[in-house]
Amino acid sequence: MCFQSFLKWRDIETKLVEEEFDVCVVGGGVMGSCAAYSLAEAGKSTVLIEQFPIPHTRGSSSGHSRITSLSDYRHPFMASLVNHGYKQWLKLQTIAAEWAVRQAPVLTIGTDEEVIKHKGKRIESCGFPPTRLTIADLNAQYKSQFPSDRFAVIDPSGLVLVANKCVLLVQKLFKSRGGVILDGCPVKQVETEKERIRITCPRRVITCKSLVLCPGPWAKELLGKVGIKLPLRTLKTGVWYFKLRDPSFPPSSINDLSISNEFFYATRPFEYPGLIKFGVHDGVEIDPGEREKCDLSHLKKKMTDYLEEFFPQIEPQPSIEESCMYTMTPDSNFILDYHPKHKNIVYACGFSGTGFQLGPAIGEVLAGMVLDYEPIHDMTPFRASRFNLQDEEDPPKSPSATSKY
């Protein structure tokens, strides 16, 4: 760069830029990116603001893989959202002409035979034939040593979403529709002025008609700036990659529900040659800005103890260690709602470690809220009103939603 070009660049970088859009989306993870894409697809001038340079690994949408399948939900009210997200990921991959999804049947293990039978019926209702395994079949196929009180079923609709590629793919489609991405651009202030919203960032002021907030682990902090207080906790968790002693390990993902109060999972081996990703659905509460100060050694021990007990063909000491963050609600269901005083501000948060698969569906719902469309899903179970927001320190454990858009 010549000196004159450097001076011009410096002037641009230090000058206050003011811009106007129909919609501003804050948060460049999977939810914000999908919402921005849906809004641009609907013809709205849209800007996507991300506090860190893209791509980055500091939030909840980074990493190589997420598991999904058509039967992957805990509550019946999640079925339509899971189905919508599943189909949209396949559609987006086709539109972008880039692979970001891989097939990977999902093995579910449990000690409650009725739960596994119900899982099989749910798989059938999605149009796929489940494969029920005896304990002998399970141990033979997966080189495992589970005891005789286990039951298992395989869901052939399973997919692995290549997370980092999925987010970049959606952002690419967003830009192709005229969307603007501002990364490395943390939000400092949000002001409402009649029917307009003014967002102040370093060296930039954005004015818009509507605002969508998808702040991930920073939800409590950012939503607090606009007067929304929610019972959220940010957790840091780990994922570990272990060496396969037997390369013939089946190319499937795993959900193990058989240990009381624990949930272990694995992703189909493909990210690192000869390694399989395992994790435990648990974490340590943190300040998202200080995630590196957290000790995950007890979670790592849980994971290695689990492998030593049940998977002797997997090396119990990890070859690679990575981490991620969850934003948890008291009932582990996400929050999707309007600002209580400003209907032109909508937000989504608290996906509790299970939201990535829903990205395109949530993006379309958020866009519909902004555009005042008829709802495509019943969002009643996800309203903030299910929590007693008058007493943030002691929220109720079960939802009691009363509103529907």
DSSP 23-78: EEEE--SHHHHHHHHHHHHTT--EEEE-SSPSS-SSSSS-SS-EEE-TT--SSGGG
| CA 265 – CA 329 distance, rounded (Å) | 21
Q: What is the mean pLDDT of residues 18-39?
A: 97
Alpha-carbon dihedral 126, 404, 33, 63, rounded to 10 degrees: -60
- Report pLDDT for 404: 21
**186 Cβ partners below 8 Å, 6+ apart?**
51, 201, 202
| CA 355 – CA 334 distance, rounded (Å) | 8
Supply 244's token pair. 């396969």
- Report pLDDT for 13: 54
Using an 8 Å Cβ cutoff, are 24 and 197 in contact?
yes
Confidence of residue 389 (pLDDT cuts 50, 70, 90): low
- CA 341-347-351 angle, 5° bins: 140
Residue showing tokens 């939503």: 223
For 124-159, the pLDDT digits (tens) are 999 999 999 999 999 999 999 999 999 999 999 999
Judged against a pLDDT cut of 90, whether residue 161 lies above it is answered with: yes
| CA 286 – CA 300 distance, rounded (Å) | 17
User: Do the strands 131-133 and 151-155 form a parallel or antiparallel pair, or are they unpaired?
Assistant: antiparallel
Residue showing tokens 């529709």: 177
- Report pLDDT for 261: 86
Beta bridge partners of 211: 24, 345
| CA 306 – CA 289 distance, rounded (Å) | 31
Q: At 149, which amino acid appears?
A: D
Supply 127's token pair. 């149009």
For 254-277, the pLDDT digits (tens) are 999 999 889 999 999 988 999 999
Which has the higher per-residue pLDDT, 247 or 42? 42
**343 Cβ partners below 8 Å, 6+ apart?**
none
For 337-347, the pLDDT digits (tens) are 999 999 999 99
For 302-359, the pLDDT digits (tens) are 999 999 999 999 999 999 999 999 999 999 999 999 999 999 999 999 999 889 999 9
- CA 27-29-35 angle, 5° bins: 70
For 216-244, the pLDDT digits (tens) are 999 999 999 999 999 999 999 999 999 99
Name the strand (E) or helix (H) holding 305.
Answer: helix 297-310
Supply 175's token pair. 């830009």
Q: At 338, which amino acid appears?
A: Y
Using an 8 Å Cβ cutoff, are 386 and 340 in contact?
no
For 169-202, the pLDDT digits (tens) are 999 999 999 999 999 999 999 999 878 999 999 9
Residue showing tokens 């192709």: 176
Task: Report the side by side order of strands in the sheet with 66-68.
Answer: 66-68, 159-161, 101-103
Counts for the chain of helices (H) and strands (E), in that order: 9, 20
pTM for this prediction:
0.91
Cβ neighbours around 5 below 10 Å, total: 9
Using an 8 Å Cβ cutoff, are 207 and 20 in contact?
yes
Q: For the chain, give the mean pLDDT.
A: 91
Using an 8 Å Cβ cutoff, are 245 and 256 in contact?
no
| CA 68 – CA 93 distance, rounded (Å) | 15
Q: Where do the domains of the chain lie, and which CATH numbers do they carry? A: 18-102+162-231+329-405 (3.50.50.60), 105-157+233-328 (3.30.9.10)
